[in-house]
Every structure is written in C-alpha cells, then in structure tokens.
Amino acid sequence: MNEMTIEGNFQQNKEPKFWGRILLLFLFPIAGMALGVATTMLLKIDQTKYGDLVINLFFLAACLGLLPVFKFSSKELGLKIIKEQVSWHVTISLVIFVLYMLFYIFVIRISGLRPLSAEVAWGLLSFLIVALAEEYYFRGILYGFIEKRFSARTALIVTSIVFGLFHARQGLTGILSRTFTGWLWGSVRYSSGMIFLLIFPIHFAYNSIWLLFEGNWNNPPAWAIYALPTVEFLLGMVIITISNRRTKMIVKPDKSINE
C-alpha cells in the first residue's frame, strides 16, 4: 500500500501541472520584486532609503498572491500553533538568537546605540518587512509546498539552497553564507513546524543589529567569515538530530499502545 502511494505521488509530481506550479512558485515572487524595482525607478524613490522597503512590499504582496492559487493551510505555512512543540520552538529560537548576540558582542564588538533618526526608523521598518516576506516565502510557502509533495528533509535542503541563491548579489561568499543561515533557520521549521520566532526576533535582529549599534562592521576578523556559517551548520545538525530523537520517543509509546 505504501509503495503504491509513493509511486502514485511520484507520478503526480511528474505531471505538467506540477511543474507549472513549481514555475509559478518561483516566477511570481520574482515578478513582484521586479515590479517593485520598476516602481522605485518610475516614481524616482530614493533607493538607499526606501528602495528595499518598496521592493520587499511588492515581494510580500506577490507571495500573498500565491495563496488563492495554492490554497495553503496555516500548518503548511508554519503558521499554526502546535501546542506540543511551542516550548521546543521557543527554546531553539532563543539558542539561535543568543548565538547571534554572542557573535555581535564578542566578534563584531558592538558598543553604543547609534543616534535614532527617521532614516533608522525607516530602516527598521524595511527590515521588519524583509523578515516577514522572506520567512513567509522560504520557510513558509516554499517549504510547505516541497514538504507536502516530497519530505521535510527535502524541503529543508532545497529551501536552504534557494535562500542562498536569493542573495546572489552578495557574491559567492554571500550565497554560501546565506545557505548555511537558511539551513539553521530551516531546522527550526523542520523540528517545530512553526516559523513565528524566525520572523521576530531571529531574522529581524539578524538584519537590524548593525543599524542600531556601533561596531566593527566593516572589518570583522577574517576567520569570522567562515566560523559563523560553520557554527550555523553544526547547530542546525544538532537541532535536527535532537528533533528526530524526540519524534522517535513519541512514536514508540504509540506503537506499544496499538499492539
């Protein structure tokens, strides 16, 4: 029965309709961002101050536009509260948040707050939209789509790679770095089924700390470029391993009861 089901799912995934949905899943958000870029150019919006905000608003709108087509459930998007996983979601999210704070404090050596201004306020709003849009798309829509048709492990790997490629303008180093970041953040979705704390504080803080604090942002130690992605990958592996063991511990009693 299981073999027939797997074979049936595989055949279904080969249908033109499936690959058409894959294409739509990728092209729709890209078109949204392109429209955002065109809007900033046509309206002559200051790219340095408001460009990212406008582009990511269009990106988020495009992602929301996918909902009527794919009809994702809240669980598929990682937006359903799973009571038995809440404490685990909070724990691993806090561990990741502390990791980044330690990195910023001891490696970047952040110090005093930057002067608050309208530019900083707009920057924070922009980063909040970025965090919301990217988590909603990568760890929400894309992850949910792939997990439903293949597996959670496949979804984790694919979304990590795509997240890295999404930051191609940062160069090869940026792609590799963001891939490992996507791996770590994806491990939270993989192990808890939720993305709430990935949006805030993790992703938001990851992007916005440099805007709020003075620090050695332009000349970090050379080893840090490789050390942080390595730690992200290893921590992601630990989270996944612990999650798999927790799942086995939950399943075993159920089997004994059924017997």
Is residue 90 classed exposed, middle or buried when 0-12, 13-18 and 19+ CB atoms within 10 A define those classes? middle
Q: How far apart are CA 138 and CA 159, in angstroms?
A: 6
Residues 6+ apart with CB under 8 A from 204: 127, 128, 131
> What pLDDT score was predicted for residue 218?
87
> What pLDDT score was predicted for residue 15?
54
pTM over 0.95: no
Tokens for 172, please give them: 């090869």
Q: How far apart are CA 220 and CA 234, in angstroms?
A: 21
The parts of the chain modelled with pLDDT lower than 50 are 1-8, 10-11, 254-259
> What pLDDT score was predicted for residue 198?
97
> What pLDDT score was predicted for residue 46?
86
> What pLDDT score was predicted for residue 256?
43
Q: Are 114 and 214 in contact (CB under 8 A)?
A: yes
What are the domain boundaries of the chain? 1-71, 75-258
Tokens for 25, please give them: 């899943």
Q: Concatenated DSSP letters for 134-147? A: HIIIIIIIIHHHHH
Alpha-carbon torsion (36, 41, 42, 45), positive or negative: positive
> What pLDDT score was predicted for residue 204?
97
